[in-house]
Structure 1
């Protein structure tokens, strides 16, 4: 395994690219336009620079790492990749359409990994010509500090593809755990309940957000509270996850909290917008 391609843009693309480069892999960023993927490559360059500044990697190694980073706005470049990540976050239908588009350009033995936790991995596998080479790799946020990667096996996934996914997760410094292909897998299903319930409490009581965050941090030895976490990943992302689980499972306990829906409707989606539960 030498080259990983990341199809899609955003924070997951840049974090995953940084991890792969520091693990000694070559990274290809593929996106809808060269300007977009170039922007992500610059973010990776800056992140690696920070690692040099805090002595996590030697300065002499920076140029070597960056020499293994490339960008393209053409799916034809994917032929060089051993593993291709789909990091799109626009929903199951968009992921399926993306997979159909990239399928003709994949190497015959390439493994395709979806990072979603909101789509059926078996269904996504069915849209490519080699469904046995498809697997789910759900990275938990924040990727830089969370050690877990959920490895999700589709009905069609081969033992070899799962083994490659587990090996890659370990190379990236993560702990792979095999999970069933059920809505939300393990962590997202539990986390969505906690975050949603925190918003119910916020809307129904006089307790302020910072006190709820501190209570959770102290009680469970968490590095962050539910609202700090929600603001970092995006309230719109949290709401999408809760709605998806509510729809897929048909369980009323996943009914979205009114305060969460109201904040998203107002455009208060977290750090990306400058305001979420907190102001930035």
Structure 2
């Protein structure tokens, strides 16, 4: 199997054991967590016999490897289990929260891309110039900012003084829904912006001395046209890879953002499930987050194989 199809197929196959490993690690960590889920379900005053019966009913008395194999089999069929606390389907609960989290992460990544390209291009036009120094300083400063701190500062410095954006919840109207998305999306974008700017800037500066760029200069291309037509186009492939990695980070960053802004998404749900030791729900969140990250990396490989003609890897 040769060419781009083989490249993408091998990438897909290599991601399967990664997903299974994440599931195994999650189950091991949950089994080592303090507390007894069966006791929480049965009640603090329930007799031990009732607690044992609940543990047997939930399969908690089985060895970890057996529970892992059973869970993987259920996941393959689309069954993510039932919540210990609510008794509802885990898949149903996640289905209600997934669209908000996906929208938050997606718009955050899109905003980061919109900001990355002009800033990186402006910095790469004159390396070590004034604009380049400012952009690099902002990127270095941005890498060290924790997401939760950025969210708190956005609330204190923008939402509260202006009153333009809600500080918690989604509201009841379409306008309030859209307004509630502005600051969280901005926080997500800022949390992933710095690595994207640094990567694109470095790639474009490296392409300054590439042979095809030197040839373009001899044909009369200068300035912005040279950057757009030759350097930026060839910098797309590395940018796709970096964006995919940062999009995965943005998905997990939504956990912090949703908690800070009290948004009813998967991040908020994961925190509540972990606090109440609702193991099936926690495992369901991990499965979905892992599947989304795997899908992002696979999508990045597909886009790279399409836009980069150099992807001609033999099987």
Q: Same fold (TM over 0.5)?
A: no
* Structure with higher strand content: 1
Higher relative CO (Cα under 8 Å, sequence separation at least 6) belongs to 2
Higher Rg = 2
Q: Give the TM-score normalised by the residue count of structure 2.
A: 0.26
